[in-house]
Amino acid sequence: MDITVDQMYQIENKGHDMGFLKKFMMENAGAASVKRLIGEFGNVKSKNILIFVGMGNNGGDGLVMARHLSGYDAKVTVSLLGTPEMIKTEESTWNWSILKKMPSVNLHPNSKLDFDFQPDIIVDSIFGTGITGDIREPYASAIDYINKMNCFKFAVDVPSGLDPQTGNTANVFTKCDMTVTFHKMKQGIPKRRDLTGNLYAEKIGIPPEAEVGIL
């Protein structure tokens, strides 16, 4: 059964209140995404992987992916679309602090789009389920950059700019080859398979009891 974005928020919050903290959900979301990516490529060793990271928990999923992909010997660059002080959540800040101790990951803060390599894979972890209104800078330029590049594009939870509730798009949006969403499919995402590419819903350890009274 596809669920609404509001139901997903409620389930996450209830799971968190049960003690299954959002940082665990984030860890499992990032790990499940990397498993899907490796399932697609077989091996990411020495591949140039560019991860665009927004300021919320969708970005945090991308930060987790960076750590896991580095463990698979990929060449990982993280483009943070803002400054580290602008990161909005404790979970994402925590994951950024780990990457700062990892010279194996190239951290690229402040939204600069001047990369000295051709990416093999781009990860879109800019916006998740919380998108409203027009997409402004620096996010719009990052989305344009993603769409211009000729490589494999992977969306975390939802392609940025696609409203996961309605299937409507913002003024700009990414077009991806694969999308991994979490726990259960949100109602609007399957309406736009032209943007999602291959689409999967992965479990991230949220207890089924967290759905009671919500679904």
Q: What is the pLDDT of residues 108-131, one digit of tens each?
A: 988 889 899 999 999 999 998 777
**In whole angstroms, how far apart are CA 151 and each of 93, 147, 184?**
29, 9, 28
CB neighbours of 38 closer than 8 A, spacing ≥ 6? 44, 72
**Residue 132: its pLDDT value, please?**
74
List, for the chain, all residue ranges whose pLDDT scores fall below the cut of 50: none
- Please give the single-letter amino acid code of residue 145: Y
- The CATH code of the domain that includes 18 is 3.40.50.10260
Domains in the chain, number: 1
Question: Nearest Cα to 122, choosing from 142, 143, 152?
Answer: 152
Give residue 110's pLDDT: 86
Name residues whose C-beta falls within 8 Å of residue 42's C-beta, 6 or more positions apart in sequence.
Answer: none
Pairing of strands 152-156, 121-125: parallel
The 10 Å Cβ neighbour count of residue 170 is 18
**What are the pLDDT digits (tens) for 66-95?**
999 999 999 999 999 999 999 999 999 999
- The boundaries of the domain holding residue 102 are 5-211
Instruction: Report how far residue 130's alpha carbon sits from residue 163's, in angstroms, rounded to the nearest whole number.
Output: 8
Contact 178, 154 (CB under 8 A): yes
By three-state DSSP, how is residue 128 classified?
A: coil
What pLDDT is recorded for position 137?
Answer: 95
Say how many C-beta atoms besides its own lie within 10 A of residue 203's C-beta. 12
How is residue 159 annotated by DSSP?
A: -
Q: 75-80 and 178-182: which strand pairing? A: unpaired
- 153: left (phi > 0), else alpha (psi -120 to 50), else beta? beta
